[in-house]
A and B are shown apart, each in its own frame.
Chain A
């Protein structure tokens, strides 16, 4: 950490002010309805000081910390896709006037948004959605506009959540790239400070405006120890190296029936997953038939309509739908986009109402696959 600076909490407030002065809307973690969700941040008081989360399969509770850490929790139910690839997006409107039909495409909304408190797994998730929505021949103009003017302030995780497994997926807990600034929060010894490093020229520019001082060797060592401890305390793990081959070789494994008996086909896992990008389009018209509009909204491979082709749904059973989700995330994503579709954030485990655990499902198949020791 050569260019590592330190900021006090006042220094962090100065960062918020600097971003707002540059015209950014700042979004970050806030307390809402007994969870930590992303929303507008004006001052440090908007951050969940002194709170942490307890996460398990199908279980999330906020609890008090002993200190006043501002980022002392893992990821919550929202992900940044709520802002970058929003749940509902109008695409166009059309109006019938006399004998003419006037079509107006929805302008792409170019907003200057700073994302504060982006975790390592989430940086990877954003990079994945970039690849999916901007990487091919067909680019999503709305996503492109929303991504164009971002300032990303990452935060290294000082604590792993109960369902986190980024260390297995090689996506965390340390932010490596994809940020303008990265913070490591150090609390204790009666001091509250943030080590900060820049990842881009704009990040350096902003950092230069802040009341920062060089970090000491002891502070840098403390930050490194903290990250090593986080990596060693992941709530979950998954042997990810050969999972693609494992799943594709076991498409008829009885475990798919077992998980289907538990799966509610409710779709929560796909909604909370920061990489799931699927949408459907729907038209709406007014009663007189003069105005109509088309919107797209998040959809999920757990619905029947999702795979509806002429005459019926291709994936009618819960087994087929769960298998689609898991093999897409962990196997066919590699073929389609060159990486895993899972960054190990653990959201699908925490927010599944019946606690279905993707790492556990992989383990069960691994342990009982054809040729596995019994």
Chain B
């Protein structure tokens, strides 16, 4: 029971953006929800998974985003409502299906929520997925507030059914992860029995005919958007300038004018439906002023499309002066912040304004650093990945042929940084490590002589590494793949996956056994425990010199956070400060300078290493590293 399931119409509650989207889905009568976890989108399905059984909604964590979209689409094909959620990178994975789905169209309401990450706060890129709407001729909604994030979802379902098209809703980190007051509505009463109409196949051949139909749907969509409540004009009749904004900048724009006391000088066109553009609405509003500042995250999607519109309607609108990211008035990359927006508007209005006086910035920085220790992005205390990378580093050094490791996305991506001893040498998309290793593994014929390793987590293995692995085995590439099996999708918040024996709704599920899969494919397999450094190093070295083919080393050890959450510890670890020689050791603080598990501390007073009991998760690995055997591990 929660406010998300129980809340009634008119009630105002505080929700996180992703919870609001989940509530919106419930209000919109969703029946099937599927996703692959990825920040900042994970809590949408996370929230729905918890309440799915209670509300008779089917919720799944899919192996990847393409499958998630296909699962949600299947519900739509059978006439009920489906929702798929993903982060920006996920839409790339799903896009192949999406750009065929747009042609066949959908039946029951189908909503695709994409959470972009402007500023790449928890991502490897800050891709702006709005371009997909344009390429795929699909309707696109962009909430500016948590309230809109909720309200747009039932609307998106309705729209989708009316048009027979999936509807894209684009959230961003600052909405998905923000909290805001949300007024609830009641769920739509829908009681449909899913049924697939065999008389109406969904086949997009001949494509041209379907493309024509799709364009017609898009025109109809534009008409609907002309009167949408999600688009509005706020401001005086004849402002000096206009701000056109979507997403969070839409909310920031009001703050900005408030702050500059410029509400009577500048008008805001806040757009919630950004593709196709509501042209007549826009033409009416754009007449009001000639200076137009476009504020949006991340690309110049609106700006470019507005410029095109103004060119088209040049006779009616005259010549406009466009300012925004394209003109350099707003930053070229990264998030639009209230500060940079305010600075831009102040400049346009020639108001003197200092967003953040340098003096204040300095004092703030000082105050913060006094209380918050500087932290490096890195693995948790006791993380098996740290141990694994330690072994990779050692094994590659011992191997001595300038071997290297290519990787991809997961907790273990941090292997590019100091906590992974800078071992990961390429980092791109899910599963790309295995693909790249497969390519490198073909280069020996041209004289390439470096051993190649790749790494992937268990969740990434199911997501996208499998095809690359098939490919490598089939094409007889030569590399060693490490699968870091920590039995968790740890990076995104411990969602279950096909290897965990549990499904999204907490029910028991069959375990898809990675080892058995690899064995069946015909790879040479070994399994090791990364906490056993020596054993793992030897295994890596052994497999590296094994001349031909794809070798898989599964490094199996439970995620340290999962173990810590269970209140388990393998070892009680302490430093015998008599035995530790401190700076006199010659080890040059191997434990705290090189290995650097956050559980290890340097006791400045005594000039010796120590253990921070509150942080140490008791993996015991540092005991193996100390050359003086001064770190004592006692089995619990």
Q: Do A and B bind each other?
A: no
Q: Residues on B close to A: CB < 8 A?
A: none
